[in-house]
């Protein structure tokens, strides 16, 4: 290359590099390169073209001397192994020299286009980046077939190098602009997000200074966003609030880990509970790259905490009295037991039940009953210590847990008895519900909590057992747990399960004992429940009736008896029994008090199409001793349906003879204890004769039960007894046996 040409090349190089350095547009630089090489080649027919590669397509950057229509036709051509000079060069990454387009196989698909625009040869060199990737192609066309000299190729390489710099710089600039655009877009989205997000986002420096503050509201800050920036936490918060925050900042920076915590602050919005999350941030400020910062996100969780407290109250507190419920009591009892096991101290649990609350609740109404329970809870709260727990288990059951009463049993017994006495004293004052005033008492069971073998699961059960002992004493008293009573209760609970199973297995049935008049004719029967156990045989009613009564199973047994009575009446020969024939059934105290008694009886009778007039309801004297007005009303309603009443075991209870005439009673039943002594003219006989005379004067019939001897029968006949039942004639028997014997004349000599 001659000196003159080198000088011209150097001048062109400076000019092109200057444009690149100044960031001139790629099109301008590319055009400058094309014109420069066309001048340097010293061939007026030379026409230069620069194309950039985007994906698999070539696009024109500059071609100042080539017809624009040609450039438009090949613009966007896909590279490949036979795509002219440029497409092939870019594809193969090697220089492609085509000295005659007309004869070159590479130009097969583009030959006519090139020739039409007067292009006869094309030398194309791939433009390679510093990362060895193809950026595009540099092409030199001529209007006649021509091959390059070594000097031509050397010169082309110089300008290809310039073009590579320009293209790579443009690509970098484009990437940078894209990054800047994305950052700007991201920043706009971030700003939009922070303006509507409910959380407060702070960028804090190492000394607690507010560097940046983001958020939609100033309500969570002591001052506005504008006033806060640049100030320190210590400028706004009192030491009691700022010191914990500074501790969190230091921990975040020292541990280099995310911290999650809760804190409370008084802000313009009020007392707010925040959930804070912090994370260290490196190089947040480019001008101060060595300083460290903390990103602090504060979320208002006040409503959530309030909801959690409300849920806790629902889970751990009784909604009526606001006292701890069974769940909280169990947890505190577990903790107390574990503490006592470790310390050797003694505590106690008092189980309290209001006497006759069901009767009060039924008579007052449930809302008034609730008022009573609230007042009981208030009074009980006045006698316990802060360290103790007063809980309501449900209904009218309350528990007092005394965590510490001393180090020995004697002191614990004394202290728990004192607490029980204080509780009873709170019931001395009358209770008022609306305009009503009434006296209420309670029964208390006490179980000491002591020793290393104590079990939290048993303490409540033992105290409950002791409470029932107080009930058995007449209520309004307290009792300590007795293991023997617990054994008895456990047996009752076990028996309850056995009764339920026996009901399912149809082991219960009615036995019938004939009732005989003076001539030996069957005039009725008494139905008695029997448990025919498949292994133990017949179980005495006295063993299971009290348990059934206590655990609310008596109605289910009564239904079995009543169904069997209906089946018996339907199977009896109507020619043998008259209209006065009746079957009696015992009614328990709990059934008699129930408002559902009438419907329970009628539902079964109607289902069998049996008239109530065939049924005598046997009740005891004690059931007539309370609430005369209500009792008479209950009996009159049943009488109007056709039922008749008999007073069972008459003379053994607490009859008020002055009111006996007021009850719709059809029959008196003399207890067996009087029949056993009827041979004694001075005691037994006089009582039996008095009862018979009383019944006759009141227009009632009389039945003597438990007649076992001929002498007893003879005496009763002379007293004009109406009917008799007892072993002298027949024992209670299954239905089929009764059906086989009911027509028999039971007259005995």
Query: What ranges do the domains of the chain cover?
Result: 3-175, 197-307, 317-481, 495-741
What distance in Å separates the CA atoms of residue 30 and residue 24, rounded to the nearest whole number? 10
Q: Which CATH architecture has domain 3-175?
A: 2-Layer Sandwich (3.30)
Q: Where does residue 387 rank: exposed (0-12), middle (13-18), buried (19+ CB within 10 A)?
A: exposed
Long-range contacts of 594-599 (CB under 8 A, 24+ apart): 594/555, 597/634, 597/638, 598/637, 598/638, 598/641
Radius of gyration of the chain (CA): 54
Helix axis angle for 326-343 and 302-316, nearest 10°, is 80
| Nearest one of 525, 619, 594 to 564, comparing CA atoms | 525
What is the C-alpha separation between 87 and 205, in angstroms, rounded? Answer: 57
Q: Do 245 and 233 form a contact (C-beta atoms < 8 A)?
A: yes
Pairwise CA distance, residues 649 & 474, whole Å: 23
**CA atoms of 547 and 532, how far apart (whole Å):** 17
Helical residues (DSSP H) of 55-199, grouped into ranges? 68-74, 84-92, 111-116, 150-196
Phi/psi for 163 (5° steps) reads -60, -40
Q: What is the pLDDT of residue 747?
A: 54
Which architecture does CATH list for 495-741?
Alpha-Beta Barrel (3.20)
Which run of H or of E encompasses 255? helix 239-255
Asked if residues 470 and 478 have their Cβ atoms less than 8 Å apart, the reply is: yes
At 337, list the tokens: 């037991």
- C-alpha dihedral sign at 171, 172, 174, 178: positive
Are the folds of 3-175 and 317-481 the same? no
The whole-angstrom separation of Cα 360 and Cα 362 is: 6
Give the position of tokens 């193969």: 92
User: Alpha carbon of 445 to those of 238, 398, 410, 468: distances in Å?
Assistant: 54, 11, 17, 7
- 740, 711, 366, 327: which is closest to 571 by C-alpha? 740
Output the pLDDT for position 296: 84
Query: Please, are residues 583 and 613 in contact by the beta-carbon 8 Å criterion?
Result: no
What 3-state class would DSSP assign to 723? strand
For CA atoms 461, 463, 467, 470, give the dihedral sign: positive
CA atoms within 13 A on the CB side of 116: 8
Distance CA 21, CA 62 (A): 19
Q: Would you state the torsion angle of the CA atoms of residues 398, 403, 404, 409, taken in this order, to the nearest 10 degrees?
A: 60
CATH number of 317-481: 3.30.70.270
CB atoms near residue 122 (< 10 Å): 27
Could you write out the DSSP letters of every residue in 321-347? T--B-HHHHHHHHHHHHHHHHHH--EE
What sign does the dihedral 264-265-271-273 (CA atoms) show?
negative
pLDDT score of 593: 79
| Structural contact between residues 568 and 583, judged by C-beta atoms closer than 8 angstroms | yes
The pLDDT assigned to 101 comes to 93
pLDDT at position 741: 77
Q: CA 744 to CA 67: how far, in whole Å? A: 139
- The two structure tokens encoding residue 728: 């002298």
Tracing tokens 């029964």 back to the chain, one arrives at 443
CATH 3.30.450.20 given to domain 197-307: yes
Q: Quick one: tokens of 670?
A: 């003399």
Cα distance between residue 462 and residue 475, in whole Å: 18
Cα distances (angstroms) measured from residue 593 to each of 43, 376, 598, 631? 129, 26, 11, 8
Crossing angle of the two packed helices 26-40 and 150-196, in degrees rounded to 10: 180
Distance CA 319, CA 313 (A): 8
Q: What's the average pLDDT block by block, 10 residues per block, for the chain (749 residues)?
A: 60 70 79 84 86 92 91 92 92 93 92 92 91 90 92 85 83 72 66 66 84 68 62 80 87 89 80 87 72 85 83 83 92 90 88 88 82 93 90 93 81 87 92 85 92 84 90 88 70 85 94 90 92 91 87 90 94 77 90 85 94 92 75 89 89 62 87 87 82 88 92 89 92 91 60
Which SS3 state, helix, strand or coil, does residue 462 take?
helix
Say how far residue 689 (Cα) sits from the centre of its chain. 69
> Which strands make up the sheet holding 478-480, listed edge to edge?
389-394, 397-406, 346-354, 442-449, 478-480
């Amino acid at each position: 290359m001659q000196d003159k040409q080198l000088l011209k090349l150097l001048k062109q190089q400076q000019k092109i590099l200057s444009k690149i350095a100044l960031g001139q547009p790629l099109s301008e630089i590319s055009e400058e390169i094309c014109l420069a090489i066309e001048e340097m080649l010293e061939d007026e027919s030379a026409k230069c073209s620069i194309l950039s590669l985007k994906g698999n397509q070539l696009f024109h950057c500059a071609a100042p001397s080539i017809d624009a229509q040609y450039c438009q036709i090949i613009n966007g051509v896909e590279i490949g192994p036979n795509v002219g000079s440029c497409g092939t060069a870019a594809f193969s990454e090697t220089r492609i020299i085509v000295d005659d387009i007309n004869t070159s196989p590479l130009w097969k698909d583009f030959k006519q286009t090139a020739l039409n625009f007067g292009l006869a040869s094309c030398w194309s060199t791939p433009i390679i980046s510093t990362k060895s990737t193809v950026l595009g192609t540099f092409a030199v066309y001529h209007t006649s077939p021509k091959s390059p000299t070594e000097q031509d190729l050397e010169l082309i390489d110089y300008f290809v190098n310039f073009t590579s710099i320009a293209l790579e710089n443009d690509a970098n600039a484009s990437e940078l602009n894209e990054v800047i655009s994305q950052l700007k877009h991201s920043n706009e989205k971030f700003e939009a997000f922070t303006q509507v997000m409910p959380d407060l986002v702070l960028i804090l420096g190492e000394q607690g200074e507010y560097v940046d503050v983001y958020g939609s509201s100033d309500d969570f800050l002591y001052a506005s966003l504008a006033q806060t920036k640049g100030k320190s936490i210590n400028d706004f918060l009192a030491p009691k609030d700022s010191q914990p925050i500074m501790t969190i900042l230091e921990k975040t920076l020292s541990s280099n880990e995310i911290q999650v915590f809760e804190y409370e602050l008084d802000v313009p919005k009020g007392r707010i509970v925040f959930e804070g999350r912090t994370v260290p941030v490196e190089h947040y400020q480019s001008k101060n790259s060595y300083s460290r910062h903390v990103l602090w996100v504060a979320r208002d969780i006040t409503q959530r905490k309030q909801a959690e407290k409300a849920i806790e109250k629902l889970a751990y507190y009784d909604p009526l009295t606001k006292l701890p419920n069974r769940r909280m009591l169990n947890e505190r009892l577990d903790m107390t037991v574990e503490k006592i096991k470790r310390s050797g101290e003694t505590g106690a649990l008092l189980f309290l039940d209001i006497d006759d609350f069901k009767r009060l609740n039924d008579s007052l109404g449930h809302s008034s009953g609730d008022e009573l329970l609230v007042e009981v809870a208030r009074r009980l709260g006045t006698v316990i210590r802060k360290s103790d727990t007063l809980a309501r288990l449900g209904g009218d059951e309350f528990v007092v847990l005394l965590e510490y009463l001393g180090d020995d049993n004697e002191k614990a017994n004394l202290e728990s008895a004192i607490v029980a006495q204080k509780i009873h004293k709170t019931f001395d004052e009358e209770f008022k519900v609306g305009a009503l005033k009434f006296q209420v008492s309670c029964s208390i069971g006490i179980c000491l909590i002591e020793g290393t073998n104590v079990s939290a699961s048993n303490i409540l059960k033992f105290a409950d057992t002791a409470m029932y002992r107080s009930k058995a004493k007449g209520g309004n008293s307290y009792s300590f747990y007795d293991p023997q009573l617990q054994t008895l209760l456990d047996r009752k609970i076990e028996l309850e399960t056995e009764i339920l199973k026996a009901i399912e297995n149809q082991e219960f049935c009615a036995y019938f004992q004939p009732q005989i008049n003076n001539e030996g004719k069957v005039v009725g029967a008494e139905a008695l429940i029997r448990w025919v156990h498949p292994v133990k045989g017949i179980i005495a009613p006295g063993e299971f009736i009290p348990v059934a009564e206590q655990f609310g199973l008596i109605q289910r047994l009564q239904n079995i008896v009543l169904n069997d009575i209906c089946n018996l009446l339907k199977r009896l020969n109507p020619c043998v029994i008259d209209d006065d024939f009746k079957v009696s059934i015992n009614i328990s105290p709990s059934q008699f008090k129930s408002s559902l008694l009438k419907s329970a009886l009628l539902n079964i009778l109607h289902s069998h199409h049996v008239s109530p007039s065939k049924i005598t309801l046997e009740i005891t004297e004690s059931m007539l001793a309370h609430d005369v007005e209500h009792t008479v009303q209950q009996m009159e309603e049943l009488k109007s349906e056709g039922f008749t009443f008999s007073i069972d075991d008459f003379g053994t209870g607490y009859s008020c003879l002055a009111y006996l005439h007021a009850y719709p009673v059809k029959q008196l039943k003399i207890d067996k204890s009087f029949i056993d002594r009827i041979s004694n003219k001075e005691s037994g006989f006089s009582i039996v004769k008095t009862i018979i005379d009383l019944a006759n004067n009141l227009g009632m019939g009389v039945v003597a039960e438990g007649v076992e001897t001929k002498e007893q029968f003879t005496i009763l006949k002379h007293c004009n007894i109406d009917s008799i039942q007892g072993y002298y004639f027949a024992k209670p028997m299954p239905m089929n046996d009764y059906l086989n014997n009911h027509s028999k004349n039971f007259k005995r000599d």
